[in-house]
Amino acid sequence: MLFFRKKNLTPVKIQLLPSTFDASGRATQEQRLSCYLIDDTVAIDAGSIAIALSDEQHRTVRDIIITHPHMDHIASLPIFIDDLFGFLENPIRIHATEEVIDILERDVFNWAIYPRFSELKNDRGPVMEYLPFKTGVEFKVAHLKITAVNVNHIVPTVGMIISDEKTTLAFSSDTAETEEFWQLVNRTPRIDALLIEASFPDSLASLAEASRHFTPASLNRELTKLNHKGMDILTVHLKPAYRDTVVKELKALGIPKLEVMEIGHAYEW
């Protein structure tokens, strides 16, 4: 029996954008770059943002959260801003920690690799602005509430919880064994889906450890820290060269509701 009716809430939509296309222009399932698009408006990381958005999405994406400055996560960010330079009514908003912003300014938007867009304007005003966030403190991006925490990667990197009024997602970004992320996930009342990385096959465990990534075996151990049950678990960031092996090893774990995130597919919760 229904005693009250909930507001008619729309689901959250998330899409892992393609990185590469075959000869006939179809997206391949190889993830070379990282860019997750939420509700056609907010991007998490920007690896393939300039090459894989639709024309409509080019008009609607104005907020980009950068988890860390590795090339596969920022590769086409400068090109995206360049493409939009003359058309922007408002600046592209880059959300990142101060540490990550400093690296972007020093090593990417430094006038040598690419122009410092944070200092440039078109006819209507600035084209890019930084909105720094602090780890452990909730912040808003468009219609989403985000809390980010440090994870265990080679450079300053955050994982995060993303929620609107209806749905909550957790995203690890690139990481090896980590603690704060699980504390954040476990104290969140409900998680609808967990996006977590599984980069290398088990045979490359030492490389995974050195570069701070998971293999299926280390991910399996890590998931014992997760208290919530029953959510969808989507694995991401499989290195294209070892994809088939990683897919087999992930399947062999037999974890309920765990699957490899399909590139290009719009998931909704």
Binding site for Zn ion (CB under 5 A): 70, 72, 174
Q: Which is nearer to Zn ion, 75 or 144 (CB)?
A: 75
Q: In the complex, what is the shortest distance from the CB of residue 113 to Zn ion, in angstroms, rounded to a whole number?
A: 18
Residue 72 or residue 192: which is nearer to Zn ion going by CB? 72
Cα gap 39→35, rounded to integer Å: 13
Minimum CB separation of residue 145 from Zn ion in Å reads 25
State which residue, 147 or 157, has the beta carbon closest to Zn ion: 157
Rounded least distance, CB 250 to Zn ion, Å: 17
- Closer residue to Zn ion, CB minimum distance, 91 or 201: 201
| Contact between 172 and 149 (Cβ < 8 Å) | no
End-to-end CA distance of the chain: 23
Least Cβ distance, residue 103 to Zn ion (angstroms): 12
Pick between residue 70 and residue 95 the one whose CB is nearest to Zn ion: 70
Task: Annotate the chain with DSSP letters as a single string.
Answer: --SS----PPPPEEEE--S-B-TTSPBPS---S--EEETTTEEE--TTHHHH--HHHHHH--EEE-S---HHHHTTHHHHHHHHTTT-SSPEEEEE-HHHHHHHHHHTSSSSSS--GGG-EETTEESEEEEE--TTS-EEETTEEEEEEE-BSSSS-EEEEEE-SS-EEEE--S-BS-SHHHHHHHHSS--SEEEEE--S-GGGHHHHHHTT---HHHHHHHGGG----S-EEEEE---GGGHHHHHHHHHHT--TTEEEPPTT-EEE-
Residue 229 has, within 13 A of its CA and on its CB side, a CA count of 0
Q: Least distance (Å) from Zn ion to the CB of residue 154? A: 7
From the CB of 153, what's the least distance to Zn ion, in Å?
A: 5
| Smaller CB separation from Zn ion, 50 or 88 | 50
Minimum distance from CB of 70 to Zn ion (Å)?
A: 4
